[in-house]
Structure 1
């Protein structure tokens, strides 16, 4: 052993140090360790059983921004989450993976990221966001990301029928309207859904508490109609409104700061349908939705009607 120690290790003098030759700067990082594990085929899991690893692999390979990889009733994934019966966090992820599509998973992850950002704002800045603001930000960021990826996104078209007309075969038409009184903290929303035979499938009156502009209230009514369409799994949808600025906002010909988040959310919802367009109509072609919206100003509870053949414009 004494003779072995006399053997020169290196010709030049210097201090020995540990290096990580798998990284570009000889310093270990989690990123370089992760890539090494992937190259060697090491099974990775985040504190869970090996049976869950296939779900995490799917999550980590989502085509979303990297930060996202790290309220719900107002989100576009609520139709999926509302039927979840499990108790645990991992069960929830597994449910979304099995029940949703790539857009659902991306939206789900984006909302988690937005919640984390809201937590940081509250903790570091003392700024508290409302749940709708958290969801709206997630929706806006997700829509922005998708718009950069989808060069073939369907266009939304506007037509202007003078009177109410039945939609094309297999298509659902949703008429919407909102009622706002200056100085009042109550807003009425009216939505009526008809099939290609003109039969009213669903109609409802909804009351919101708060101060909203007419324009924003109309957009919120569009959102309610599209949430309903998504929950019912309708594929071909027409939104009909008598508010020209609402149609312009949805189609992008009018851009207002106040409606940026809600319009992005509407675009996200509309991407779920095989076909979607907005139609601008005259007030007399939107009479039922107008009456339902006005009822929302005086009613103390929301009303839902189904298969109401007597509702005609």
Structure 2
């Protein structure tokens, strides 16, 4: 393989470097552990492409472009005390990703642009979440009229209003608003797809109850954090080339008198090769089970 490489590349390398330098470059030995050239995705440790790492890389490239950069309190959105789907909706709203009827029309989708609830105004971000009569009626049921009716939340685009909220309110209030906006958007879709529409009072109450239930569970988990064992910093290490590594574990069900065991085999690239799981009708000690 090296001889072919030399014969094919010497003329090209000589065009860039003196002959003596080119020969030294070609004579450089390859790494002893590399037998076959292969493509490697540098964004993942195992060298394999994933959609997650590809998306992260794309976002880095996009946000370097000022055209796509939006100034705002982005970190405050993700710190809001709310279900992740509600925070995600706020992020989509600020990134202009909510498929309102006006935005769909701008994307050349043939559709009626009027709000499916009031049927009077054009359905865009501001109307859907802030100025629709049905939307404003749900604020009171959710206990958020004073927040969303403030001067800061009544001016500018939907993005301006969300970031004003992030500047002026605590994380719990931001989370309650995010949950309400999610309920409003969910109701819009339920009306369009299923012809099922709830009253503004029902939307506001559902958002209020949803957030309180989430917060109660979240607070309970926070109080129990001291009982959660710390995550181990030990990391899986690759075996040598040509070897497999077997990781084992055991689980003990004392009440049922059973011991469950499992093993996983992976090669030097971290690729899954084989596995086995089984249980036995006997009770073992920890040492015996691991053995």
| TM-score of the superposed pair, with normalisation by structure 1 | 0.37
Larger Rg over CA atoms: 2
Structure number having the greater strand percentage: 1
| TM-score of the superposed pair, with normalisation by structure 2 | 0.39
